[in-house]
Amino acid sequence: MRHLKRTAKLGRTFEHRNAMLANMVCSLIKHKRITTTLAKAKAARSVAEKIVSLGKKGTLHARRLATAKLRTHGPTVQMTKAEKTKWRTQEDVIRILFEDIAPAFKGRAGGYTRIIQLEQRPGDAANKAILEWVDEVVTTAPAPQAKAEAKAEEKK
């Protein structure tokens, strides 16, 4: 019996569902808004809100819990210093969460995301939705020296 089980199964196994939701939250952190189906947006919203609550704590333990939940890790190939800086500013989900998004929501007690419903998808008539942050989140730009090094690398 499924009494008091409120998890939306989304037609997937436990592992597949958790991996999909972690990837959706990572995309939300990186891109600030994602378009998906309404059911997936509602499921991803609760994961995103819990991750932001961890980000607001800011402790090492919270950082490790967020890393485990989002299944993220650093780059797996050798990079130059400029490439590492670019990866850190644009792709490092944990850094973006703890240094950009969580401080923006420091004064808010909850409700960090909003769902905007869109029209139905033509192929299967699924309800589409946009999942985005409530407040405008400002990301930190790389240092001017790093920008100059990146431009020098591009010219070569």
Task: Please answer whether residues 131 and 48 qualify as being in contact, where contact means their C-beta atoms are separated by less than 8 angstroms.
Answer: yes
Cα 15 to chain centroid distance, Å, stands at 18
3-state secondary structure of 143: coil
What's the pLDDT band for 76 if we cut at 50, 70, 90? confident
What's the pLDDT band for 84 if we cut at 50, 70, 90? confident
> Is pLDDT above 70 for 143?
no
| Terminal Cα distance for the chain, rounded | 63
What's the pLDDT band for 43 if we cut at 50, 70, 90? very high
What's the pLDDT band for 101 if we cut at 50, 70, 90? very high
Q: Which domains does the chain have, with CATH numbers?
A: 14-80+92-139 (3.90.1030.10)
Token pair, residue 94, equals: 């944990």
Provide CB contacts within 8 A for 25, sequence distance 6+. 44, 47, 48, 51, 70
- Looking at residue 73, what is its pLDDT? 79
Average pLDDT over residues 76-83: 88
